[in-house]
Homo-oligomer: A and B are copies of this chain.
Amino acid sequence: TRSYRIAVIPGDGIGKEVVPEGVRALRAAADAFGFGLDLVEYGFASAEYWTEHGRMLPEDWFDELSGHDALFLGAVGWPETVPDHVSLWGSLLQFRRRFDQYANVRPVRLMPGVTSPLAGRGPGDIDFYVVRENTEGEYSSIGGRIFEGTDREAVVQETVMTRTGVDRILRYAFELARTRDRRRLTSATKSNGISQTMPYWDERVARMAAEYPDVAVDQYHIDILTAHFVLNPDRFDVVVASNLFGDILSDLGPACAGTIGIAPSANINPERRHPSLFEPVHGSAPDIAGRGIANPIGQIWSASMMLDHLGEREAAAAVLRAIEDVLAGERAELTPDLGGKGGTASLGRTIAEAI
């Protein structure tokens, strides 16, 4: 039978609590749909690993992880032990870059049973994707300080966009828009204030749009776009954005759809030259870590996206359906963030049974 090699990387904080529930859902899906799973768990990309080794990843991480069909990640970040920019640049951001996972795909969907903070919005009213460029742009490691420690101190940081990088994410987003009923693509820009990179982004959007006459294209500056997420979330279908703007929109969107606690993400290498990575949108949440109350749905939904990517369409759909059914069911079974009384593991078990 077909089988998949998955690297499981819990990371820090609630990552360690929700990943086992994601794994539980994966195993339930494997049993139900008759495929095999070869799961290898890794302890690196965590504060413990940092404390022991003074780095976030072993030297051979690239080769080690390359042998897998996909990476299943919890959350990285434990600022008490290691500054966030060190831990993230030393792990997650390396994965995205070195495995060229240039398409970060994040569904924004108001699910049954979830209350939106927006007045009068129900399931079906919010249903779109944020497609985020995931390897370049504002997240660069280039830059530094000058005149350190003096009054003249200054810091520079370089944003870099390449034609290759911009065009391939735009193409990915246009292709995704084509698969949707509304065939609508919204580009996030800020070309009125950011003088070099953003006008370039707009130019490439205009050029690509000419190749996709069947897709309706519009663009908003990022400031007013965030306003429209709140005022008119029904307007969006596929939103394409640079690394930073996509980061912002893919937290704001799920918040408008009720909670970022259940939002998933896929970091995809579309050419399948390297493994893709699946992780919830939420972080390691030091404030609630260790209490067994973290919501595992973001992790389980990420498992669904991973199965879809691996070609297990039916299993992916079953996992998503199980999430929807449980969300629409007994509120008491949900975790406290959704107004329930359940814990991470009990909610995870309920969903696994539903699969």
Contacts and interface: CB of A to CB of B under 8 A. Distances in A.
Interface of A: 77, 83-85, 87-89, 93, 115-120, 138-145, 150-164, 190-200, 222-224, 226-228, 230-231, 243-244, 247-248, 250-252, 254-256, 259-260, 283
Given A193-B244, A223-B250, A226-B255, A154 B143 contact: no
A41 B145 CA distance: 44
A84 to B, nearest CB: 4
A143 B197 contact: yes
Given A158-B157, A164-B151, A244-B190, A230 B117 contact: yes
Contacts of A190: 244, 247
13 contacts: A83-B191, A85-B195, A88-B193, A140-B195, A143-B197, A150-B163, A154-B162, A154-B163, A155-B161, A156-B159, A190-B247, A223-B250, A223-B252
A108 B84 CA distance: 30
Given A194-B138, A231-B117, A255-B231, A154 B158 contact: no
B157 A197 contact: yes
Given A223-B252, A226-B252, A230-B252, 15 more contacts: A115-B119, A117-B119, A117-B231, A138-B194, A151-B163, A155-B197, A156-B159, A156-B196, A157-B158, A159-B159, A193-B247, A224-B260, A224-B283, A231-B255, A231-B259
From A157, A228, A251, residue with most partner B Cβ within 10 Å: A157
A145 B224 contact: no
A159 B154 CA distance: 10
A157 B226 contact: no
A295 B231 CA distance: 17
A137 to B, nearest CB: 10
A195 B255 contact: no
Task: List the 10 closest A-B pairs by CB distance, nearest first.
Answer: A227-B255, A84-B192, A143-B196, A223-B251, A153-B163, A157-B196, A119-B119, A226-B252, A157-B197, A157-B159
A349 to B, nearest CB: 28
A251 B73 CA distance: 34
Contact of A89 (B84, B142, B152, B195): B195
B222 A248 contact: yes
A153 B190 CA distance: 20
A149 to B, nearest CB: 9
A254 B227 contact: yes
A195 B248 CA distance: 16
A89 B191 CA distance: 10
Contact of A194 (B139, B195, B259, B260): B139
Contacts of A250: 223
A246 to B, nearest CB: 9
Contacts of A224: 251, 260, 283
A354 to B, nearest CB: 27
Contacts of A252: 223, 226-227, 230, 252
B93 A139 contact: no
